């Protein structure tokens, strides 16, 4: 069977354009690929358009909008996920504008689909007592428990994204002072994050136990499962959820019911902010693209807001009792008035 123009251009987009011309990371390419896998399922199951007969002229703005709505309604995806799918589609049709301009008007209609506004969620983060309780939960009598303590400690100390932790290798940790770790973030951007002595000690014990200081240690990821394979995103989320639930059994007031791996990142950011660390440094530690992204933490920090208000507060309330209360005779008369 002859390939369709859709399959031809999608293959070029994913295998040549994104990695070769854009320099997109493997994670971005995987995310875009997943968008089109789901899009093809939608067309096959909902529109009865099999992949092997799908051509570009069958794809319209209305069809794309219907797909995006379907991801929310049927697949129960969040608005954020919907927008991620739209970003992948926008990228593909921008590519088509130059590679196949025959249907340029329709491509531009698709590119005009706006990002859907998302309701801002409350940022969940732990207090210092909360993070201490969470890190007490792993059972240090087991190898798995010691690995999990090192994993959670490093996630909190660095404010790393889940994928950044998954991608770590032993050589990315510097054990000479000043202690640092190299993280590879979005767009393959590398950043160096300082490590404090307590976190280094936990990590060193783990790596010594796992034999990760040897010459062949970089054949393995820093954190792995029983088969010496990278932990998955689902696996890391499972580990955190396990200890979150244990911590909630001990004290529900310190651990919110909804607490994800990204909340550990929020926790580190809030603790840095509350310690007086400049937003620019917090931006660099977290790997944000701009300080405006980091400013969200300043907006939600009620402690800093209260301290700022207290510094600016001028007491304008009367500090003395009304004069009539000092007059015992008058006070007695008023109390007995009209009885």
On the question of a cis peptide bond just before residue 178, with omega within 30 degrees of 0, the verdict is yes
Eight-state DSSP code of residue 13: I
Q: Which of 186, 204, 205, 233 is catalytic?
A: 186
Q: Identify any residues that bridge with 140 across adjacent strands, giving them in sequence order.
A: none
| Nearest one of 2, 101, 84, 78 to 39, comparing CA atoms | 84
Cα gap 233→231, rounded to integer Å: 7
Please say if 90 is a catalytic residue.
Answer: no
Cα gap 79→128, rounded to integer Å: 32
102-127 as b/e: b if 16+ CB within 10 A: ebeebbebbeeeeeeeeeeeebbbbb
Q: Which of 146, 161, 268, 271 is catalytic?
A: 161
Please say if 288 is a catalytic residue.
Answer: yes
Q: What is the CA radius of gyration of the chain?
A: 28
Cα gap 197→153, rounded to integer Å: 12
Q: Which of 82, 147, 265, 271 is catalytic?
A: 265
**Cα torsion at 266, 156, 30, 295 (round to 10°)?**
30
Q: Are 190 and 182 in contact (CB under 8 A)?
A: yes
Alpha helices by DSSP H, 210-327:
233-250, 261-274, 279-286, 291-300, 302-312
Please say if 262 is a catalytic residue.
Answer: yes
Task: Provide the annotated active-site residues.
Answer: 161, 186, 262, 265, 288, 297
């Amino acid at each position: 069977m002859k390939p369709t123009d859709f399959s031809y251009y999608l293959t070029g987009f994913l295998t040549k354009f994104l990695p070769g011309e854009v320099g997109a990371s493997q994670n971005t390419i995987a995310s875009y690929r997943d968008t089109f896998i789901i899009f093809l399922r939608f067309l096959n199951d909902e529109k009865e358009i099999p992949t092997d007969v799908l051509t570009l002229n069958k794809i319209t703005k209305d069809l794309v909008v219907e797909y995006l709505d379907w991801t929310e309604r049927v697949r129960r995806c969040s608005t954020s996920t919907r927008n991620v799918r739209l970003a992948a589609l926008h990228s593909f049709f921008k590519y088509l504008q130059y590679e196949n301009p025959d249907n340029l008007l329709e491509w531009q209609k698709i590119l005009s689909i706006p990002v859907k506004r998302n309701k801002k969620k409350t940022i969940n983060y732990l207090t210092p007592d909360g993070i201490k309780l969470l890190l007490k939960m792993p059972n240090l009598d087991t190898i798995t428990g010691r690995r999990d303590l090192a994993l959670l400690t490093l996630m909190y100390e660095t404010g790393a994204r889940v994928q950044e932790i998954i991608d770590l290798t032993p050589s990315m940790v510097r054990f000479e002072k000043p202690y640092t770790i190299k993280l590879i973030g979005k767009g393959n951007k590398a950043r160096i994050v300082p490590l404090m002595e307590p976190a280094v000690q936990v990590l060193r014990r783990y790596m010594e136990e796992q034999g990760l200081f040897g010459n062949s240690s970089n054949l393995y990821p820093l954190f792995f499962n029983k088969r010496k394979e990278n932990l998955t995103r689902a696996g890391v989320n499972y580990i955190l959820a396990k200890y979150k639930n244990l911590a909630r059994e001990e004290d529900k007031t310190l651990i919110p019911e909804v607490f994800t791996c990204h909340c550990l990142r929020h926790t580190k950011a809030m603790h840095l902010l509350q310690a007086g660390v400049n937003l620019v440094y917090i931006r660099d530690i977290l790997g944000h693209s701009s300080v405006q992204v980091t400013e969200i933490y300043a907006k939600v920090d009620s402690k800093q807001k209260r301290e700022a208000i207290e510094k600016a507060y001028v007491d304008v309330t009367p500090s003395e009792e009304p004069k009539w209360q000092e007059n015992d005779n008058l006070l007695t008369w008023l109390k007995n008035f009209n009885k």
